A and B are shown apart, each in its own frame.
Chain A
Amino acid sequence: MKRFILAFIAAYIFLFVWGWLLNGVLLKDLYAETPNLWRSQSEMAGLFHWIVIGQALVVFSFVMIYASGFAGGGVLAGIRLGVLLELAAIGMRLGFYAVQPIPGRLILYGSIGGLIEMVIVGAMVGAIYKPASAGTS
């Protein structure tokens, strides 16, 4: 349980910082090209807690999946899980691209950023979380 919490906190901190760097800094100009698709800065600030909850849900579910099916495989198993989840998420992004007028470049860069994000999250969770039996052996 202790390692579960540690893995969750470490991955959450990374996800939060990476999310800000990718969406708030690197892709900022691309988002600005479609202002009608996004809330105003003041509105976003008022709904910021949803971002925090959303990221926590992603990380919590990720660690749960890892702990219940991939634990013991270490860093590589974590990366494998992250890559599989992100590749499936790219499919979901393509679905959003089909129905929302989101620029294709935003989908492309978001997917590349998402892949990097999940590889690192997977590596962190795989490195930190160990099943109870492995911890005692």
Chain B
Amino acid sequence: MPCCHERTRGLIGQEKPQYKEVMSWKKFFFAFIAAFVVLFVFGFLWYATLMHDAHREVPTLLRPEADLKSYFKWLVLGQFVMAFFFTVLCARYVPGGRAGAGAMLGFLVGLVYAGPHLISFAVQPLTFKILCGWIAGAVIQFTIAGAVVGAIYKPAAGHLMYVKERSR
């Protein structure tokens, strides 16, 4: 069953015809997979490789290397959940698709998630280097993911539904 989201809204109580875009599930799926790959690969390169030494400066905050393998499934699940809902957000925010608009949304989402990093710095014994790395990582990661989703996701071409809005 196609999912629609409204592009125009009528005044309250007024019956007004409008167009609704039909979600392209196939493109959504590809965009979601691409977002997952971007988040996962960037996360590995940035947090696990580039920031590896910085993270080792606070060993009490991290699980021991031996434990990380058994918790890896939570990391994958977390990236999966993050990629899915971020793709849903992009599909709603930039339904026409566009890499630039997706990147802008990703940048703002990155800032939303940079806020909790600042709070973590105040309550956890993190170093300033880690704080800067996490903030830059969040912003860059979501900006790239947003650009990729924006470039891939487009609503179903030629499938604009003409509907009548109900009186509210």
Q: Which residues of A contact B (CB under 8 A)?
A: 19, 36-39, 43-44, 47-48, 50-51, 53-58, 60-62, 64-65, 68-70, 72-73, 80-81, 84-85, 87-101
Q: Which residues of B contact A (CB under 8 A)?
A: 9, 43, 60-63, 67-68, 71-75, 77-86, 88-89, 92-94, 104-105, 108-109, 111-119, 121-125
B118 touches A97 (CB 8 A): no
Please indicate the chain B residues that have their CB under 8 angstroms from the CB of A72 in the complex: 9
B60's partner among A36, A64, A94 (CB-CB below 8 A) is A36
Q: 18 new A-B pairs (CB below 8 Å) besides A50-B122, A91-B80? A: A38-B123, A38-B125, A39-B123, A57-B111, A57-B115, A58-B116, A61-B115, A62-B112, A65-B109, A88-B81, A90-B78, A92-B78, A95-B78, A95-B82, A98-B72, A98-B78, A99-B63, A100-B63
Please indicate the chain B residues that have their CB under 8 angstroms from the CB of A95 in the complex: 43, 74-75, 78-79, 82
Give Cα distance in the complex from A67 to B86, angstroms.
18
B89 touches A92 (CB 8 A): no
A87 touches B124 (CB 8 A): no
Q: Return 27 A-B CB contacts under 8 Å, by A number.
A: A19-B119, A38-B123, A38-B124, A47-B122, A50-B122, A55-B115, A56-B115, A57-B118, A58-B115, A61-B108, A65-B108, A70-B92, A73-B9, A80-B92, A87-B81, A87-B85, A89-B113, A91-B78, A91-B84, A95-B43, A96-B78, A97-B71, A98-B68, A98-B71, A98-B72, A99-B62, A100-B63
